[in-house]
Amino acid sequence: MTTQTTAPETPETPSAPSTGASPSGLFGIPAATGRALAAGAGVLTIVSTFLAWTWTSDFPGDLTVYGYPGGLQVLVLIGAAVTTLLALATYDVKGLGWLVPSGGDAAVKLAALATFATAWYTVISISVELGGVVNLEPGGYVVAVTSLAALVGALALPFERPEPDPIDPDSTGWEKFRHSLAHGWNTTKATFAAESPKPVGKLPSYAEILIIVAALALGLTVFTYGIGTEYDELFVGFLILAGFGFAALNKAGLIAHVAQITARHQNVTVFGAFIAAALFPFTQTDDQYATLGVYILIFATVALGLNIVVGLAGLLDLGYVAFLGVGAYAAALVSGSPNSPFHVHFPFWAAVIIGALASLVFGVLIGAPTLRLRGDYLAIVTLGFGEIFRITANNLDGTSGPDITNGSNGIASIPNLDILGFDFGAVHDVAGFSIGRFANYFFLMLIITAVVVLVFRRSGNSRIGRAWVAIREDETAALAMGINGFRVKLIAFAVGASLAGLAGTVQAHVTYTVTPEQYLFAGPIPPNSAFLLAAVVLGGMGTIAGPLIGAALLFLIPNKLQFLGDYQLFAFGVALILLMRFRPEGLIPNRRRQLEFHEEAEAPAVLGKTGA
């Protein structure tokens, strides 16, 4: 009796270094030559950033200096350095293999594309703004050629795909069409599985903690640089490099590697993230960008509360910003504003409780009669509630209704907070740093964000949290298992509403004025219901970091893209479409949600057949 075992056919890893002379990528260039070209041209691109790119300082960033990169040159320098390192790592250069735990050919392509796009964007901007290519210095021509050469070399790296099954010549046109669709889907699955990150071995605890610290420091540096870009061209270049750079690191497997490490040290990661956030105001020279920081935290906290409703419980709420408004109005009415009809001034802790309770009560009142609905019907009802809240607040002006909210003028002149003698409206000196008004509110909002994160983590890991997930996955099955669906969903609605009201109490004091126009369903500037939902979906439903990062991006990018005018929302919409196309599970995906989109990445290998 003879036993033969057939090895499972697995797709060849696209990133395996190719040393042969056969062309595998574009342009007919051998893979080894392309890899050497990408690395060499990357080095030359680095050198070009130390040359002058234009003769006049009229272009922002002063790109006229030899030997000292500035402005957009720094971004091109970073992109070229990453491209060179990844190209050398895929060439099996000793000591660099850790850069590409999942293989690096796709990562080299994306890094080279990031460098090329940033360099050519700069060269074209100089030519357009200054009146032609005659305004370029030799460095501008050099960087254009070398970045293009690096991209050509990267595109010469192999595109490995499994061969298609033969088509039966007697098949009908419809069968051939179905075959082509099936082959395309199988190719996509095989390519993703081949490039998906492999589990990495554990490092010593101190080494993994150092990696977490380094990742958080890098994140703080990138965020600080992005929020502090001084002119529009620099921010657009930053977006190009950051977008393609993140994709390159993700393809290389570094993002997944760091995610595995942070998952083993969740408490250290959360604590370190808040320390990194607390350092942000100290990186600013004035209150200009701390203003964006505090608004981002307010937006992120509300998005995290919505994540309980949408991400955990699976309830589509399109009027969630109304709960933020309820908390803000409740706090404004009792915080000593001269426009308040109640003429009372409660301490902040009492205003916080009133704002959170008011939002909770409204959440229960709206949820009780509507949460028996599902899907689109629930979304329509919540959308109606958001509009009803805004219209009601607009009508409570003493003419159309009782004089409570002062109508469209809102509750104005809300005083700054004073907690235990600490005036949030004054400038304070801390360790030699001047901490202004918005920085003070930033620290307060950071504490509230920490409370919301704690509530999210504890509730998500609790019995009620598991019930939320069960309802989200299959409500019928959950009800059959004995879960009280109505009660569970009502709790999610109430908790999410109270967290939004908590953030609203701080928003009222930060903005000085609360008006109905601040709480629209959609608008060019967040927070509004549409942007809140987008922050949760794009950041990663069911996670903590996802909505925080999504909210930061969705608040920062529209503020920085205001120079586009009428095209601002168009450009922003295109960016969202591309992100959802290439990363539908979100930037920081929940593991269960990631498997829903990429089940093939975890599929076990098929065992070979044994015959006698």
pLDDT per residue as tens digits for the range 410-445: 888 888 888 877 777 777 777 667 777 788 888 888
345 three-state secondary structure:
strand
Are 29 and 23 in contact by the 8 Å Cβ rule? The answer is yes
Question: For 198, phi and psi rounded to 5 degrees?
Answer: -95, 150
Predicted pLDDT of residue 19: 41
Residue type present at position 408: S
Distance CA 534, CA 524 (A): 13
pTM (predicted TM-score) = 0.75
% of the chain exceeding 70 in pLDDT? 82
Averaged pLDDT for residues 9-37: 58
Digit-coded pLDDT (tens) for 30-81:
778 888 888 899 999 999 999 999 888 888 888 888 888 988 999 999 999 9
Domains belonging to the chain, first-starting first, are 26-159+197-251 (no CATH), 297-597 (1.10.3470)
Averaged pLDDT for residues 518-536: 77
Predicted pLDDT of residue 523: 65
**What is the rounded (10 degree) CA torsion for 475, 476, 478, 482?**
130
Q: Which of 231-240, 351-360, 434-443, 503-512 has the lowest mean pLDDT?
A: 434-443
% of the chain exceeding 90 in pLDDT? 9
Distance CA 446, CA 230 (A): 25
For residue 575, give the nearest of 590, 561, 595, 593 by alpha carbon: 561
Are 298 and 527 in contact by the 8 Å Cβ rule? The answer is yes
- Reply yes or no on whether the pLDDT at 118 is more than 90: yes
Averaged pLDDT for residues 306-334: 86
| Highest mean pLDDT pick, 110-114, 261-265, 512-516 | 110-114
Are 130 and 63 in contact by the 8 Å Cβ rule? The answer is no
Distance CA 501, CA 321 (A): 9
Are 113 and 244 in contact by the 8 Å Cβ rule? The answer is yes
Beta strand 610-611 with 4-5 is: antiparallel
User: Which two structure tokens, joined as six digits, stand for 445?
Assistant: 């909002």
Predicted pLDDT of residue 525: 63
Please state, in angstroms and as integers, the Cα–Cα distance from residue 443 to each residue in 13, 278, 439, 499, following that order. Answer: 47, 7, 6, 18
Distance CA 39, CA 84 (A): 5
Averaged pLDDT for residues 136-152: 92
With b for 16 or more beta-carbon neighbours within 10 A and e for fewer, the 482-507 pattern comes to ebebeebbbbbbbbbbbbbbbbbbbb
- Reply yes or no on whether the pLDDT at 121 is more than 90: yes
Q: Which of 126-140, 305-319, 320-334, 424-438 has the lowest mean pLDDT?
A: 424-438
pLDDT: which is higher, 113 or 34: 113
Distance CA 551, CA 298 (A): 9
User: Which two structure tokens, joined as six digits, stand for 510?
Assistant: 């930060």
- Reply yes or no on whether the pLDDT at 142 is more than 90: yes
Distance CA 557, CA 572 (A): 8
Q: Band the pLDDT of 13: cuts 50, 70, 90.
A: very low
Predicted pLDDT of residue 485: 78
The runs of H, that is alpha helices, within 337-429 are 348-370, 375-395
Packed helices 321-333 and 375-395: angle between N→C axes, nearest 10 degrees: 30
Question: For 55, phi and psi rounded to 5 degrees?
Answer: -95, -15
Chain-centre distance for alpha carbon 227: 14
pLDDT: which is higher, 1 or 482: 482
526 three-state secondary structure:
coil
Beta strand 428-430 with 433-435 is: antiparallel
Q: How many CB atoms within 10 Å of residue 439? A: 26
Q: Which helix or strand (DSSP H or E) is residue 574 part of?
A: helix 568-582
Averaged pLDDT for residues 388-415: 82
Instruction: List Cβ neighbours of 223 (8 Å cut-off, separation of 6 or more).
Output: 280, 552
Are 16 and 10 in contact by the 8 Å Cβ rule? The answer is no
DSSP count for the chain of H helices, then E strands: 21, 6
pLDDT: which is higher, 161 or 215: 215
Predicted pLDDT of residue 49: 92
Residue type present at position 434: S
Are 438 and 511 in contact by the 8 Å Cβ rule? The answer is no
Question: For 429, phi and psi rounded to 5 degrees?
Answer: -95, 120
According to the 3-state scheme, what is the secondary structure of 273-319? Answer: HHHHHHCHHHHCCCCHHHHHHHHHHHHHHHHHHHHHHHHHCCCCCCC
Please state, in angstroms and as integers, the Cα–Cα distance from residue 543 to each residue in 68, 255, 503, 529, 539, following that order. Answer: 42, 16, 19, 19, 8
- Reply yes or no on whether the pLDDT at 16 is more than 50: no
Q: Which of 20-29, 291-300, 555-564 has the lowest mean pLDDT?
A: 20-29
- Reply yes or no on whether the pLDDT at 265 is more than 90: no
Q: How many CB atoms within 10 Å of residue 480? A: 9
User: Which two structure tokens, joined as six digits, stand for 89?
Assistant: 């790592």
Locus of tokens 């390192």: 85
- Reply yes or no on whether the pLDDT at 182 is more than 70: no
Predicted pLDDT of residue 189: 42
**Given 3-state DSSP classes, what are the helix, strand and coil percentages for the chain, each rounded to the nearest 5?**
65, 5, 30
- Reply yes or no on whether the pLDDT at 100 is more than 50: yes
- Reply yes or no on whether the pLDDT at 289 is more than 90: no
pLDDT: which is higher, 100 or 275: 275
Distance CA 105, CA 16 (A): 8
pLDDT: which is higher, 275 or 192: 275
